[in-house]
Structure 1
Amino acid sequence: MNNYKFFTLSKHTYSGLYVVNQKIFWILIVLFSIVSCKKEGAGGIGMFDLKYTLTYDLKDKGQVLSLWDDIHTISTLQGVVNREEPRLFVNYVVESGIEIDSYWWNKYRQQGEWLHGKDTIVYNDIVTLIEAYQNDFDGVVVYDSDIAATSNVASAVAGIENLIAIRYDKSPGSLYDRLVAKGPKLPVKVWLIHEDGTPLFSGQGDIPGTNRKSTGSIKNDPYIWFIENYMKTNRCNGKFGAYYIDQKWRENPQATVVNHHTLTNHDFFVSKRAFFFDLSPWGDEPATDDPEQAVGTDLATLKEFLSEAYRLNKGEKMCHIGGFPAWAFKYTTHAGGSHDDVPTEWEFSRIISAYNAFKDADAIGYGALANASFWQHFPLEEKYAQKWVTQDELKKRGYLTEDGKVDCENREFMIFYVGDYDASSWITQRTPTIWDHPDRGKLPLMWSISPVLERRAPMVMHNFRKTATRNDYFAAADNGAGYLMPGMLQEPRDISGLPCGLDAWAEHCKKYYDKWGLSITGFVIDGYAPGLSSKGLDCYASFSPNGIVPQKVPLTLLHGNMPVLRSDEDIQQEPKEAAQRIAQRVADRPIPFHWFRNILKTPGWYVEVMDELDKINPNIELLDAPTFFELYRIWLKQNPDAANGGIPVQ
């Protein structure tokens, strides 16, 4: 790294400092004396490289434990010390051979950027790191290695109580041994296990520390304990929840990419004093990780979490849930359940939406995200405007006749939903390989990105806008400023019994759409929820006036002045096959406007598809988003049957 003052700390050197030379010795002493102060500007930004854990043997249980312990403890430390200022940064996530955290760090170390000139202190040892920040947290929450759910409860408690989470393990050399039993002997403020190592939770009798009877599930009882002690006492922040896998990950760490323990994702939610959970959304079978529980126990606890969050938010604010069903590990056919992956995704979305909650979908594959607690302090601009097209411009470009009619003769208009960018982790990991592709800008593309991702990945969102070409236009991803199923906001809400949540959703979305210059919602996943009612469409018209693309609507519709187009197929094939399928769908459809969804495709893929498509049907035109939706709106006004939803779906 360049352009900054660089120091290294190690526990094996004088006062923890590596003395570069005597000339600057006293400067280093002064820096060390203030490194534990709470002002980032005084001591510099702490740096710690966690990539050593990527070399661990995942078949070795001891190394898996060490990986888990180091990353979990450091992530909770980050959440606490980065709450008010950006003070601790880690390097961990690697994708396609690219060190993602270094990629973003280096981008904003450049001249004139946010991190330029900031002092840093590099820590090479986890104990030294913890000791350096010891004055910034109040102690430790210790959790039970044998009760998986306690790791998530520990993260939640850490955020609320200003603690770091450490797994109980008296083995010589364990992190607990080095930090609690020995070394700095950090004080334990909350025990989620008895001090002698016996379980605090048994799944029987009364739940300790509460007036509640056991759920009969040793998995669920710790969550009920948390709800009683932190949510019902109004100590938890109901605006944020974290849905990440618990310690069960250690039983099958090779089920997918190694970083999908998603422990690095905890830091942001620790900083927000969020609740953490890992529960099945299914009410028709026991959770696959707790097969002895009564059917529906996980679902009941999930609903209690969501109900309490709704109460804390007074029904006025939406709850932002980071995470996604860990389908490779739990709750699906992959783990012995009866439900497939997408149905599990949709059922979870259906449930949380009934309580005014949405997810920031850190899904398997690219689900790991580090340093969100650090980047949350990135200074965004007040607004990022986008220009809409005028009818005069459409006439000059030959899309409208002189009398204002859409010229559809021998023309088929098409747009790609360039997605799925509904997760902070996905946009952070895939920018180098997708956004930075040299073919970006050759074609008009509608990049569909959830604006609420500015909370955890503001530096990515800013970079998109500052490096966009004239052919890059932005719409909101599914299903607005967050991924929920809007039909579940509409009354009646059988799952929750709560009043209509459409106003809360509209208010939430409006501020993000306004800030990011958005007026199109590129896709609305209805899933297992009801389709949008007239009130639901009114809701979207209030913040997405230039168009929406839901699943459960007529083929064409004009709602007030908002164009509504029914979504069509996902196109994920190789370019030649993709072009053939697009051409076939265009030929089959009775209207001249066509939408296709694509997931994590590079600009080069789109160029190849369009080259192939031109060979099959040169009358198909790929349009920029404003042109597509404005032409569609004008066409709807000129075709009453289409505007009223009268054209049958093919």
Structure 2
Amino acid sequence: MNAMNFNSSKCLLFMLLCGILAAACEPTVHTNKLYTYTLSGDNTADAYDEAVMVACIQGILNRNTTQLYLLSDTYERPAYWLDTLSASGKWLENKEHTAIATLEELMALAGDQVKGAIIWDPDVPASLNVATTLAGLEDGIVVSPGQADLYLDRWELPIIKDFRGMFTGQETGSKKNDAYRWAIREFLETGRCDPHWLCLYEDAYMTREKGDINYVVTRDWPVRNQSFVYDLSPWGDEAPLDDPDQRLGTDLETYKLMLEAVMKLTKGKQMTEVAGFFSFPKYSNIPGYESKHDPVPTEWETVHLISPYNCYQNTVAHLCFNQSIHAQAAVGELQQGRPELKDPEGGKTYLCFLMADYDSATPLYDFLPKHWNDSARGEIPLAWGINPNLIETYPDVIQYFYDTKSPNDFFTADASAAGYMNPNRIGSAHLPLFIDHNKRFYQRLDMSLSPMVLDWDEPTAAVKDAFTQFSGDGFSTIVIDFHNAGGKLPKPHVWKEMPVMELINSACNFSTPQQTANELSLEIPAPRDGAKPAFYFFRIVWTSPSQVIAALEELRKLRPELDIEVVDPYNFFHLFKSTEG
């Protein structure tokens, strides 16, 4: 063998060995395997820290494929959905489940997909959220100082960022706001975060010591999507519980800086989902925590604040396990069909019930299965409010409900359309974006009804025009004027072929069938001889069909003079339109 051939052979052998070694260093991805890891659910700071780390690993592993599914020793819903979606014909049917028992095994699975660690500062609870944002951008895991001491050398993980002592309050007088303003400059103003998502996740201030992981297990979602995570008060007239010495309004100023940065990034080309809810004990008045603002006004103030920035909320999103897995289910446009339309009958009292408040991730994921599996479902026609934008989060869960609906189950949007916003607060220049956004989601879920539009005043002509583009079969609203600006309900009418009316809210909180029947009755006046039919659309929150049926039976006993007919939402609006037209 001459020298040239010998050297060529050595080069070839060297390249082959390098390829083998490189392949050996790559993490092994088994596309037919689904690894599971079970969180203990212990109410300790250590369990909290573990859940933070695991959620980060999950978000990284599930960014481009489905690898890691989390279970819980204390919460059965993740196991319920894993069993349901692994059944014959479901998308996880062919996945082999392999349990991982320890953090060491989990890190071995992740391999070099985890690039390093971010240490958050327990003296600045908000730094947990800043660290989570950075973890998504740098493929890192968020660790407490104690975890850093315990694991980083053992796992040979470099430190990407150490936030200890970094946020002192020098900029704003508030360590919390210093942290978020630094993150806004570093991650939003530079365009590093995906502006389609903001995550309003409660930080560690009063959760870590209790081992409350409600908004920890959700962190796979912002890590996977490289989203900005925050926890701020929408109020400018009182200091929040977690930062009582801040200058009045500092949280709100930071909130607006964040929203302005996101709106600048979107350039009017997309809307932004705010996933998560404000912290009740930090920002509103609940037993044990004094505030001048009650929870419902705080919810409405949050939506009032974010709407002009083309943001919509996916409010209750705690304990939403495995969003980074569920979101990858391949679901196309869904079909629910339409009922045969009826002719109105004089003297009738037409009732329709919106099974409401499945407009956000937790109710869809956790509450709805309980009421959906009620044996009486299908006995009467019901409207089920599911916001269509949730198809981005739990497409397989929504498909399950579509696949198992009865002919008497109909899906509509909930609060307020494809996401919870105040339509009157959307700028006129952005209404075309608002229309396109809603059209896309309504079409995908075969929806054409918006029965629970929440706002501070009756819809403007421009807003009604917008809704005719995607919700032509019906529009109803709840108006609450918390700012005392003269807001009022619309009179029932038909706007360019779209029925417009009120969604009655007084019977929403079910206690007993008798109590609900009394509330329903108070809304229905005595019938008039030969009168046109009457129409009443009621909101019922997180209640089973059997309870609604029991309340109807009580109402018929209470009001025997009424000729009551319960109809589906399509017929309800159609009958109203036929009567008024």
Q: TM-score, normalised by structure 2?
A: 0.89
Question: 1:574 aligns to what?
Answer: 512
Secondary structure class of the residue paired with 2:400: helix
Question: 1:291 aligns to what?
Answer: 244
Identity of aligned residues (%): 27
Secondary structure class of the residue paired with 2:309: coil
Counterpart-to-counterpart distance in 1, 2:231 and 2:467? 31
Secondary structure class of the residue paired with 2:205: helix
Question: 1:12 aligns to what?
Answer: none
Contact kept, 8 Å, 2:31 with 2:66, in 1: the verdict is no
Aligned length: 542
User: C-alpha deviations, 1:43-68, integer Å up to 9, x for none?
Assistant: x2221001x2x2x3x4xxxxx21021
Counterpart-to-counterpart distance in 2, 1:38 and 1:518? 42
Contact kept, 8 Å, 1:576 with 1:612, in 2: the verdict is yes
User: C-alpha deviations, 1:308-331, integer Å up to 9, x for none?
Assistant: 111111122110111011213444
Question: 2:379 aligns to what?
Answer: 442
Counterpart-to-counterpart distance in 2, 1:274 and 1:589? 55
Say whether residues 1:303 and 2:256 are aligned partners.
yes
Alignment-mate amino acid for residue 312 of structure 2? F
1:449 deviates by: 0.6
Contact kept, 8 Å, 1:283 with 1:296, in 2: the verdict is yes
Contact kept, 8 Å, 1:232 with 1:308, in 2: the verdict is yes
Question: 1:338 aligns to what?
Answer: 292
1:84 deviates by: 0.9
Q: 1:628 aligns with which of 562, 565, 572?
A: 572
Counterpart-to-counterpart distance in 1, 2:550 and 2:432? 43
Alignment-mate amino acid for residue 103 of structure 1? Y
Alignment-mate amino acid for residue 371 of structure 1? N
Secondary structure class of the residue paired with 2:119: strand
Q: Cα RMSD (Å) of the superposition?
A: 2.1
Question: 2:469 aligns to what?
Answer: 542
Alignment-mate amino acid for residue 516 of structure 2? A
Q: 1:513 aligns with which of 433, 442, 453?
A: 442
Contact kept, 8 Å, 1:280 with 1:331, in 2: the verdict is no
Counterpart-to-counterpart distance in 2, 1:200 and 1:252? 22
Residues 582 and 631 (structure 1 numbering): CA distance in 2 closer, same or farther, change over 3 Å? same
Question: 1:10 aligns to what?
Answer: none
Larger CA deviation: 69-78 vs 332-341 = 332-341
Question: 1:203 aligns to what?
Answer: 169
Secondary structure class of the residue paired with 1:551: strand
Question: 2:558 aligns to what?
Answer: 616
Residues 231 and 558 (structure 1 numbering): CA distance in 2 closer, same or farther, change over 3 Å? same
Counterpart-to-counterpart distance in 2, 1:94 and 1:353? 36
Counterpart-to-counterpart distance in 1, 2:314 and 2:45? 28
Residues 35 and 371 (structure 1 numbering): CA distance in 2 closer, same or farther, change over 3 Å? farther
User: C-alpha deviations, 1:5-54, integer Å up to 9, x for none?
Assistant: xxxxxxxxxxxxxxxxxxxxxxxxxxxx9796263417x2221001x2x2
Question: 2:50 aligns to what?
Answer: 70
1:484 deviates by: 0.9
Mapping for residues 430-469 of structure 1, pairs under 5 Å:
430-469=367-406
Alignment-mate amino acid for residue 101 of structure 1? P
Question: 2:345 aligns to what?
Answer: 407
Question: 1:317 aligns to what?
Answer: 270
Say whether residues 1:176 and 2:153 are aligned partners.
no
Counterpart-to-counterpart distance in 2, 1:304 and 1:426? 30
1:589 deviates by: 9.2
Contact kept, 8 Å, 2:199 with 2:275, in 1: the verdict is yes
Residues 568 and 34 (structure 1 numbering): CA distance in 2 closer, same or farther, change over 3 Å? farther
Question: 2:338 aligns to what?
Answer: 388
Say whether residues 1:371 and 2:322 are aligned partners.
yes
1:576 deviates by: 1.2
Q: 1:92 aligns with which of 60, 65, 72?
A: 72
1:222 deviates by: 0.8
Larger CA deviation: 459-468 vs 574-583 = 574-583
Mapping for residues 581-596 of structure 1, pairs under 5 Å:
581-587=519-525, 592-596=534-538
Say whether residues 1:525 and 2:458 are aligned partners.
no
Say whether residues 1:114 and 2:88 are aligned partners.
no
Counterpart-to-counterpart distance in 2, 1:481 and 1:246? 27
Secondary structure class of the residue paired with 2:210: coil
Mapping for residues 218-229 of structure 1, pairs under 5 Å:
218-229=175-186
Query: Which consecutive unaligned segments of at least 5 residues does structure 2 have?
Result: 1-22, 480-488
Contact kept, 8 Å, 1:570 with 1:598, in 2: the verdict is no
Counterpart-to-counterpart distance in 1, 2:240 and 2:313? 21
Query: Which consecutive unaligned segments of at least 5 residues does structure 1 have?
Result: 1-32, 59-63, 170-174, 194-198, 205-213, 395-399, 401-405, 492-499, 638-650
Contact kept, 8 Å, 2:120 with 2:142, in 1: the verdict is yes
Alignment-mate amino acid for residue 571 of structure 2? T
Contact kept, 8 Å, 1:93 with 1:368, in 2: the verdict is no
1:605 deviates by: 0.7
Contact kept, 8 Å, 2:27 with 2:109, in 1: the verdict is no
Q: 1:41 aligns with which of 10, 31, 54?
A: 31
Secondary structure class of the residue paired with 1:336: coil
1:626 deviates by: 1.3
User: C-alpha deviations, 1:532-564, integer Å up to 9, x for none?
Assistant: 210011111111101111134323021111000
Counterpart-to-counterpart distance in 1, 2:566 and 2:362? 29
Mapping for residues 416-427 of structure 1, pairs under 5 Å:
416-427=353-364
Question: 1:472 aligns to what?
Answer: 409
